[in-house]
C-alpha cells in the first residue's frame, strides 16, 4: 500500500468502536461520538466494530495523500 492519511468523521453517536493495532495488539480504541474527527497514518492497521446497542454506526472515511 502507498503512504496516505486517513480521516474518520463520526456522523452519529454509537457504541461500535474503532480499534487501532500494532503487531496485532490493540493500542487505541476510539468511541464514535457525533462530530468527532480522527486523523491518522492510513498504513496503521485499524478496524471498526459493529454496534450492539445502537442501530447504526455511520462514519465518513476519507483516504488522501
Q: How far apart are CA 37 and CA 24, in angstroms?
A: 24
> pTM for this one?
0.90
Are 12 and 57 in contact, with CB atoms under 8 Å apart? yes
What is the structure's pLDDT at 19? 98
The helix (H) or strand (E) run that includes residue 37 is strand 37-41
The per-residue pLDDT for range 3-61, each reduced to its tens digit, is 999 999 999 999 999 999 999 999 999 999 999 999 999 999 999 999 999 999 999 99
The predicted pLDDT at position 21 comes to 98
Q: Of 11, 2, 10, which Cα lies nearest the Cα of 39?
A: 10
pLDDT at 44: 97
The C-alpha cell 487505541 sits at 28
Amino acid at each position: 500500500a502507498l503512504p496516505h492519511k486517513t480521516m474518520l468523521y463520526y456522523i452519529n453517536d454509537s457504541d461500535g468502536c474503532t480499534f487501532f493495532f500494532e503487531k496485532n495488539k490493540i493500542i487505541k480504541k476510539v468511541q464514535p461520538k457525533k462530530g468527532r474527527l480522527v486523523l491518522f497514518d492510513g498504513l496503521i492497521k485499524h478496524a471498526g466494530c459493529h454496534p450492539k446497542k445502537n442501530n447504526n454506526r455511520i462514519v465518513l472515511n476519507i483516504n488522501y495523500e
